[in-house]
Structure 1
Amino acid sequence: MTPAPSPSADGAGLHADAVRVLRGWRAPDAAQERLRLDFVRHLEEHPDGTWRECVPGHITASTIVLDGSRSRVLLTLHRKVKAWLQLGGHCEPGDATLAGAALREASEESGIDGLALPPVPVRLDRHAVRCHPEGSWHLDVQYAAFAPPGARHAISDESDDLRWFPVDALPEPTDDVVRRLVRDAVRRAPGPTG
Structure 2
Amino acid sequence: MSLHDDAVLVLKEYGSQEELRQLYLEHLDAHPDGMYKPCGAGHLTSSALVIDPSRARVLLTLHRKLGMWLQMGGHCEPGDATVEAAALREATEESGIAGLSLLPGGPVRLDRHPIPAPCHWHLDVQYAAIAPADAVAAISEESLDLRWFAYEEVAGVADTSVVRLLESTLARL
Taking structure 2 as the reference length, the TM-score comes to 0.95
- CA RMSD of the aligned region, Å? 1.3
2:108 equivalent in structure 1:
122
Equivalent AA in structure 2 for residue 125 of structure 1? D
1:1-194 to structure 2, matched below 5 A, reads 12-27=1-16, 32-118=17-103, 120-130=106-116, 132-133=117-118, 135-170=119-154, 172-189=156-173
Q: What secondary structure, in the 3-state scheme, does the structure 2 residue paired with 1:63 have?
A: strand
1:68 offset after TM fit, Å?
A: 2.6
Q: In proportion to residue count, which structure has more helix?
A: 2
1:94 offset after TM fit, Å?
A: 0.4
Structure 2 residues not aligned, in runs of 5+: none
Identity of aligned residues (%): 57
> Max radius of gyration: which structure?
1
Regions of 4+ moved over 6 Å: none
Structure 1 residues not aligned, in runs of 5+: 1-11, 190-194
Taking structure 1 as the reference length, the TM-score comes to 0.85
Question: How many residue pairs get matched?
Answer: 172
Whole-angstrom distance in 2 between the partners of 1:52 and 1:157 = 19
1:186 offset after TM fit, Å?
A: 1.6
